[in-house]
Structure 1
Amino acid sequence: MTTQTGLGAFTSIPVIDIAALWTDDGESRKRVVDEIGDAARNVGFFYVTGSGVDEELFESMLKQVKAFFAKPVEEKMRYYIGNSTCHRGYVPVGEEGLDKPDKKPDLKEAFDTALDLPADDPDHLAGNPMLGPNVWPDQDGFAEAVTAYYQAVLAVGQKLLWAFAVALGEDPDVFTRHATKTPSQLRLMHYQYDPDAHDVQGIGSHTDFECFTLLRPTAPGLEVMNGAGEWIDAPPIPGAFVINVGDMLELWTNGEFVATSHRVRKVSEERYSFPLFFNVDYDTRVAPLPQFVRDGEPARTPLVAGEHLFAQTAQAFTYLRKRLASGELTLPEGSVGLGTFGQEARQKTA
């Protein structure tokens, strides 16, 4: 059972100019925060403009990413994610599947990065599966372009995390105090040109495992599930980020904010997609805030943010599923299955 919200049969996704979040204009900031809160409760997805991220950072990263994915598979596999100790590197077509194993694999390739920590970082040395150094291809300018974009978007994420707290009427730092060394991933994703595409799955229906996501796509394909179980197009808007609520904000609010299910349909045109999955620190215990534990509505079971991320990742990637099957890896205690959060989970239990 979850707290009921106004999430309904929406047919479009709101667009919010967040520029006022960086000003001293209290009235304008409140208006933006209220719009963010409304979108999180009623849709779970929204676009943001006015982020202040230099478009040149995106274009420079895109240029580097296109050059990398144009290389032969043999070259890209030198950086195979399965060789990493902290889930970084190249993800070939078919490696990842967010649906049941008997379904078709995702039709995409990717390169996964995150907070780039030194090799002697104590958490990495202690064996943390999601914290450590990035894997960088031997390509001039790649690491620099991706890192610059990552840092700029991560700063926007910090501001949005603050705004979510204010929108809930909480201490403005209730979430940001837990975001100091986060396993926030930036995925560089590529869908190849396919002139014969016919409504084929690119990424199966899922929610995002972290607090929320800041996405920049280059072409259509993204779809969002509304409260009636219908799929709504979320086409790219030039210069705008697509923001969606993830599992941890749904858990913190006991369902007041909804981790709306979404998917990618295969389109004929070549498509690049850059989601930054904003998370809180690995060891953060996430439990429903007291205001959302109401009479007759039990509190959801707490989870540790990083353990949830690792458990969901381990169930989605082939190289990690093999290690689970062999006993080399085990899921953290209390882990939940894929598809536990979001609107699709509600539809299944309605």
Structure 2
Amino acid sequence: MSTAGNFSSIPIVDVTKLRTGTPAEQMMVAEELGNAARNVGFVYVTGGGVDEALFESVLDATKRFFALPYAEKMKVYIGNSRNHRGYVPEGEEVFASGSKDKKEAYDLSIDLPSDDPDYVAGNPLLGPNQWPELPGFAKAVDDYYSAVFALGRVLLRGFAMAIGEEPTFFDQYVTKPPSQLRLIHYPFDSSAEDRPGIGAHTDYECFTLLRATCPGLEVMNGKGEWIDAPPVPGAYVVNIGDMMEIWTNGEFAATSHRVRKVPAERYSFPLFFAADYDTVVAPLPRYVAGDVPQKQSLKAGEHLFAQTMQSFTYLKERRARGEITLPEGSAPLSSFGQEARQKY
């Protein structure tokens, strides 16, 4: 099991050969990814093959959306949706610390038709997106989503190889996942020097791919120290999430992180790469041996929705009215990663 290192910086891994190389070259890259996942839980990924023009396009679309009047943005308020899609105003989201975030966001996922059987059946995370009436917005966002999700599939193969499985091992669990892309805007706030922008947490899915326009991200190491993770030009920050921590029974670390010191306007684009909603995530047989405690299994979508229910105001209100209930056995917020290890 990883003790997740007392690192002071985050490694950079070029994944070009994972996409285009020979099997031996792919394995070399996979081993680099595995080492980063075991010892840090975060890695800068370069060579991912995502056209930079797609990022510039989604950044432009995002700026145009957040520049709209508040009333216009609230036309696509996330609380209007049945499947957690749309505009998230400042203060809507509250993390385990209890502090409200100094940000606004727009949340979306795989854009399924309104007659999708899972959506019709009431799945809380699958279905169509809410799109604002903003020319070019939906295409720019959807094109970017598709490209980064494709990079996520490449990384998924690398992580499978890193733990000794076939490259396609995890594909069976990723056929229609509720992998969410967030467009996040941290407004200029000259008083934000010592105030959290987004509370300390781990990510609930398999892993996250992030691009951001300026510094602010911090990562917790094994000593409980916060390490800066500023943007690297052209690179994606990739961090391990709760699902990978469970599958590897703790060998891969879901590393706690937060956003602080945001005195400048900042845009952030995390894509949370998830497993299919009904996937039962449990430690793989190769990690169940000896006297190592076995992590509790859970259903991927229920875990994701339960964590979301505990951090979004509109869902807390629905829960208080008895319209929705937490799945049985749901983990409390911040129960994974380095922060949890420091607490417990």
TM-score, normalization by structure 1: 0.97
Aligned residue-pair number: 344
Q: Is residue 279 from structure 1 mapped to residue 279 from structure 2 by the alignment?
A: no
1:249 matched residue in structure 2: 244
2:150 matched residue in structure 1: 155
Q: Is residue 25 from structure 1 mapped to residue 35 from structure 2 by the alignment?
A: no
1:36 matched residue in structure 2: 33
Residue 6 of structure 1: CA displacement? Answer: 4.5
1:88 matched residue in structure 2: 85
**1:189 partner SS:** strand
* Maintained 8 Å contact 2:99/2:199: no
Provide structure 2 residue ranges, at least 5 long, that are not aligned to the other structure: none
Residue 194 of structure 1: CA displacement? Answer: 1.4
Residue 333 of structure 1: CA displacement? Answer: 1.6
1:11 matched residue in structure 2: 8
Percent of aligned pairs sharing the same letter: 63
Written as runs of structure 1 = structure 2, the 5 A alignment for 1:202-281 is 202-281=197-276
Q: Distance in 2 between matches of 1:297 and 1:8?
A: 19
1:58 matched residue in structure 2: 55
Aligned AA (2:79):
G
Q: Distance in 1 between matches of 2:233 and 2:276?
A: 31
* Offset from partner CA, 1:258-279 (integer Å, 9 cap, x none): 1000000041111000000000
- Over aligned residues, Cα RMSD in angstroms? 0.9
Written as runs of structure 1 = structure 2, the 5 A alignment for 1:123-162 is 123-162=118-157
Q: Distance in 2 between matches of 1:26 and 1:124?
A: 39
**1:187 partner SS:** strand
Aligned AA (1:33):
A
**1:244 partner SS:** strand
* Maintained 8 Å contact 2:210/2:236: yes
Q: Is residue 170 from structure 1 mapped to residue 173 from structure 2 by the alignment?
A: no
**2:192 partner SS:** coil
Counterpart selection for 1:47 from 44, 57, 65:
44
* Offset from partner CA, 1:190-226 (integer Å, 9 cap, x none): 0001123221111000000000000001010000000
**1:201 partner SS:** coil
Q: Is residue 338 from structure 1 mapped to residue 329 from structure 2 by the alignment?
A: no
Q: Distance in 1 between matches of 2:261 and 2:128?
A: 32
1:294 matched residue in structure 2: 289
Residue 284 of structure 1: CA displacement? Answer: 0.4
1:198 matched residue in structure 2: 193
2:181 matched residue in structure 1: 186
Residue 75 of structure 1: CA displacement? Answer: 1.1
TM-score, normalization by structure 2: 0.98
1:308 matched residue in structure 2: 303
**2:169 partner SS:** coil
